[in-house]
Amino acid sequence: MRQDLVTGDWVVIATGRSKRPEEFAAFKREIVQEDPGKLCFFCFPEETGQEKDVLIYKKDNGDWSLRVFPNKYPAFKRGGKIKHHEEGPFFKMDGVGYHEVIVTRDHMRQIALLDALEVAEIADAYQERYIDLMNKKNVNYIEIFCNHGKEAGASIVHPHSQLAAIPVISPHIQSELDGAESYYRANRHCVYCTIADWESEHKKRIVFENDSFIAFCPFSSRAAFEVWVMPKKHKPYFERITDEEKVAFAEALQISVNKIYKALGDPPYNFYLHTSPCDGKDYPHYHWHLEILPHTAIWAGFELSTGIEVSTIEPEAAAEFLRNQ
């Protein structure tokens, strides 16, 4: 059993039923079958009734390379005033916020198959939309995430990621914020910097690193081949990333996803970006990062009942296998 240094959560590394790294590639994700006579929602957004773009990047030839538009089936109602309601002992509020889709042009080329500059353009869009939404009324947190593969929640094949700007800070983020502050008060040092420094020095869980970013399988990995991409220097706020840092971040993200793609045979995965909330408060002890979780197992009774996740490969072995791809 290993404990997360930030949150205190436990995970189980089930060495008794561990697999060889190459065995994980045997898991084949379900491919969504597309209707050849039906227009792709994201290749032809105007023709398929998508809402007007809130951001579009164009190539020199006039064609678009990336566009962002409101989700046609949003989880949060766009803008508006939040109303609070009580029902006996229960409390609820209107689901007001912003839910957008970030779409790249090529129908077949996911992030694993793009080059670093193309991924940097995605990071540009993340930052631009974040900055535009962060000061909107009732927006206190912005989650940026990607679902790849049906098992990871993707209902459309065309490569895309999503942004949700919401009025609340999730319990998971709050747990990280609290853990980061608690560690700093006890040690006078950022917990994420401590992790990055240790991993960079000892190398055994490193997947990739450049001058500005480190990609590694975390000590308390919740899933087989989980990878974190993290700035080496202390950076609480993703939206303040510089152009130079974006290129380095894009390189680390693309290489990490590409290694997972090659090692596991294009598995379903989720990645999400965790950064400081935009609720007007200061979070000097936090450290933004991106987490990639391949889907190589299914939660069962133990995980659901305890919240303790089980991985069947040591992160040290997973990192070594990914490094060699």
pLDDT tens by residue, 255-298: 999 999 999 999 999 999 999 999 999 999 999 999 999 998 88
User: What's residue 34's pLDDT?
Assistant: 65
User: What's residue 125's pLDDT?
Assistant: 98
Q: How far apart are CA 129 and CA 165, in angstroms?
A: 10
User: What's residue 195's pLDDT?
Assistant: 98
Predicted confidence (pLDDT) per residue in 71-117, tens digit: 988 888 887 788 888 999 999 988 899 999 999 999 999 999 999 99
User: What's residue 18's pLDDT?
Assistant: 64
Cβ partners under 8 Å of residue 309, min gap 6? 11, 12, 222, 223, 299, 303
User: What's residue 77's pLDDT?
Assistant: 85
Tell me how long the chain is. Answer: 325
Q: How far apart are CA 146 and CA 162, in angstroms?
A: 6
Residue indicated by tokens 């970006």: 273
Q: Domain 2-29+40-323 adopts which CATH fold?
A: HIT family, subunit A (3.30.428)
Predicted confidence (pLDDT) per residue in 44-63, tens digit: 888 888 888 999 999 999 89
Query: Is residue 29 scored above 70 in pLDDT?
Result: no
Residue that wins the pLDDT comparison between 187 and 79: 187
Tokens matching residue 111:
């992030």
Q: How far apart are CA 70 and CA 49, in angstroms?
A: 11
> Hey, where are the domains in the chain?
2-29+40-323
The distance from CA 209 to its chain's CA centroid, rounded to whole angstroms, is: 18
User: What's residue 47's pLDDT?
Assistant: 86
Predicted confidence (pLDDT) per residue in 117-159, tens digit: 999 999 999 999 999 999 998 899 999 999 999 888 888 899 9
Q: How far is CA 152 from CA 23, 85, 264, 305, in A?
A: 20, 33, 15, 21
User: What's residue 35's pLDDT?
Assistant: 61
Q: Per-residue pLDDT averaged across 163-189, rounded?
A: 96
33 — pLDDT class (breaks 50, 70, 90): low
28 — pLDDT class (breaks 50, 70, 90): low
Q: Judging by beta carbons within 10 Å of its beta carbon (0-12, 13-18, 19+), is residue 25 exposed, middle or buried?
A: middle
Tokens matching residue 68:
């962002």
Q: 251 and 301 in contact (C-beta within 8 Å)? A: no
Q: Per-residue pLDDT averaged across 239-256, rounded?
A: 98
21 — pLDDT class (breaks 50, 70, 90): confident
